[in-house]
């Protein structure tokens, strides 16, 4: 998929006006999920926007209780009903657990795609070996969404995305705000007369095949996150960030 460098992560957003504002600011990739319990909010924001549906990439994710073979289509249809859409552009398997079985879940998701309820199928929070198995059942892996930020990232998942040519969609690029206290990030931000948030987003999007979906609510932060992708870090600065001691992930299994 050809995704913009910065999209909008919507977990925790409960006001449709935020979605509307994001679209007005220039966001064209909107990411939600069943477990966020805000698909209706996202749908209302899309419906109120001046930007046409065809110009937006809308993604949602099937939660672990909607991954049984007989539950995939009803779960997808329920998401579409909440979103007020006939189809989404990208439908993810949110996590490979719960009712997930690659032999039955993935063919059911492929059937949903063939029925026109989604244009593309993506995966989220998969391990490299699980991606390999998934490739045996899917026409393509259109995107893989994972936690990816200066304090936690998986080189093996980046390598797989680059080797197979799909986008790695980085969620939580600001590490839940922890990058604001990371000395290396602060120092690089001061060098560029910018913010730690901008440096973190610029670092994430500096990699081939990586895009990101930070959450923001105010117009100022929404605009700043979009602009951060234009910040150019030096190779030395990228290496300094790569050398930061990695911590535990924010959203483990």
The answer to the question of residue 252 being in a domain is no
Q: What is the predicted pLDDT for the residue at 240?
A: 97
Looking at the predicted structure, is the pLDDT value of residue 181 above 90? yes
The answer to the question of residue 113 being in a domain is yes
Q: What sections of 84-231 are H helices per DSSP?
A: 102-114, 128-135, 155-164, 183-191, 196-204, 219-228
DSSP code at position 207: S
The string over 101-132, giving b where at least 16 C-beta atoms fall within 10 Å of a residue's C-beta and e elsewhere, is ebebbbebbbebbeeebbebbbbbbbeeeebe
- The active-site residue out of 27, 36, 166, 171 is 36
252 confidence band (pLDDT: 50, 70, 90): confident
Q: Which domain holds residue 56?
A: 8-174+209-215
The answer to the question of residue 189 being in a domain is no
The answer to the question of residue 54 being in a domain is yes
Separation between Cα atoms, residue 125 and residue 8, nearest integer Å: 18
The answer to the question of residue 234 being in a domain is no
Q: What is the predicted pLDDT for the residue at 251?
A: 81
What is the per-residue pLDDT across 79-108, written as a single tens digit (0 to 9) for each?
Answer: 999 999 999 999 999 999 999 999 999 999
Task: Assign residue 35 the CATH number of its domain.
Answer: 3.20.20.100
Number of domains in the chain: 1
Is 166 catalytic? The answer is: no
Q: In what order do the strands lie in the sheet with 29-31?
A: 8-9, 29-31, 57-62, 88-93, 118-124, 144-147, 168-171, 210-212
Collect all residues with Cβ–Cβ distance below 8 Å to 16 and sequence separation of at least 6.
41, 42, 44, 45, 48
Q: Between the CA of residue 43 and those of 92, 222, 242, what are the distances in Å? A: 17, 19, 37
115 confidence band (pLDDT: 50, 70, 90): very high
What is the per-residue pLDDT across 30-84, written as a single tens digit (0 to 9) for each?
Answer: 999 999 999 999 999 999 999 999 999 999 999 999 999 999 999 999 999 999 9
pTM: 0.97
The answer to the question of residue 134 being in a domain is yes
The answer to the question of residue 158 being in a domain is yes
The answer to the question of residue 64 being in a domain is yes
Separation between Cα atoms, residue 222 and residue 67, nearest integer Å: 33
């Amino acid at each position: 998929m050809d995704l913009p460098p910065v999209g909008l992560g919507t977990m925790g957003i409960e006001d449709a006006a935020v979605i509307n504002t994001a679209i007005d600011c220039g966001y064209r990739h909107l990411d939600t999920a069943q477990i966020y319990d805000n698909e209706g909010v996202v749908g209302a924001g899309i419906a109120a926007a001046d930007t046409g549906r065809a110009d937006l990439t809308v993604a949602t994710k099937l939660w672990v209780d909607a991954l049984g073979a007989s539950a995939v289509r009803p779960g997808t249809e329920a998401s579409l009903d909440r979103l007020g859409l006939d189809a989404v552009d990208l439908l993810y398997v949110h996590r490979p657990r719960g009712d997930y079985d690659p032999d039955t879940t993935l063919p059911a998701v492929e059937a949903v795609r063939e029925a026109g309820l989604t244009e593309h199928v993506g995966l989220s929070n998969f391990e490299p070996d699980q991606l390999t198995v998934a490739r045996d059942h899917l026409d393509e892996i259109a995107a893989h969404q994972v936690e990816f930020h200066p304090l936690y990232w998986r080189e093996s998942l980046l390598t797989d995305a680059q080797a197979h040519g799909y986008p790695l969609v980085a969620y939580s690029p600001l590490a839940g705000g922890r990058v604001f206290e990371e000395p290396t990030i602060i120092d690089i931000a001061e060098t560029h007369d910018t913010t730690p948030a901008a440096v973190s987003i610029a670092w994430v999007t500096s990699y081939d095949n990586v895009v990101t979906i930070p959450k923001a609510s105010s117009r100022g932060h929404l605009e700043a996150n979009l602009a951060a992708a234009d910040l150019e870090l030096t190779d030395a600065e990228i290496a300094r960030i790569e050398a930061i001691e990695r911590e535990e992930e924010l959203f483990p299994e």
